[in-house]
Amino acid sequence: MLIASDHGGLELKQIIVEFLQSRGIEVNDLGVHADDSVDYPDYAALVATPISNGDEKEGILVCGTGIGMSIAANKFSGVRAALVHDEFTAQMAREHNNANILVLGGRVLKPELACRMVDVWLNGQFEGGRHQNRLNKIIQLSSEDNSDK
């Protein structure tokens, strides 16, 4: 599992890494490893690039609110980064949106809730069907030139 954060998500990221490892999940922690201020798009790219390229299946990003990371990660082709706030949105991110990156806010979530959300997301299954039709429409939107719209 790929995971990265900026300085605002460092503490929660460390807790999530421990949570994942306690469940036998191999974690590739791409940083940060100190609380010095950094630019979140750089860390979003570290997780989103291998997912976009098809080298990895999924990952987790954490910043202060999760907003910046989700915006940055969704710039990458094939990435479906979902910013979630509770267990229900984590479940829907997987079941309806087939999110391949879970995004969390380190300054807005309690660690216990965040770990439950990660668990729900990891154990969820994409439902396909009408949801796949909607994802296909999103893919079509990203392939169109929308610069003059």
Indicate if 115 belongs to the active site. no
Q: Determine, yes or no, domain membership for 148.
A: no
pLDDT at res. 26? 97
Q: Is the dihedral of CA 92, 95, 100, 102 positive or negative?
A: positive
Q: Determine, yes or no, domain membership for 61.
A: yes
| Residue 63 belongs to domain with CATH number | 3.40.1400.10
pLDDT at res. 134? 87
Q: At a CB cut-off of 8 Å and minimum separation 6, what does 135 contact? A: 80, 97, 98
Determine which one of 7, 63, 85, 131 is catalytic: 63
Q: Determine, yes or no, domain membership for 121.
A: yes
CA-based radius of gyration for the chain: 15
Determine which one of 7, 85, 96, 131 is catalytic: 96
pLDDT at res. 145? 53
Q: Determine, yes or no, domain membership for 100.
A: yes
Residue 85: domain span? 2-143
pLDDT at res. 23? 97
Indicate if 63 belongs to the active site. yes
User: What is the mean pLDDT for each group of 10 consecutive residues in the chain (149 residues)?
Assistant: 98 98 98 96 98 97 98 96 98 96 98 98 88 83 59
Structural domains of the chain, count: 1
pTM recorded for the entire structure: 0.92
List, as one string, the DSSP characters of 112-128.
HHHHHHHHHHHH-----
pLDDT at res. 128? 76
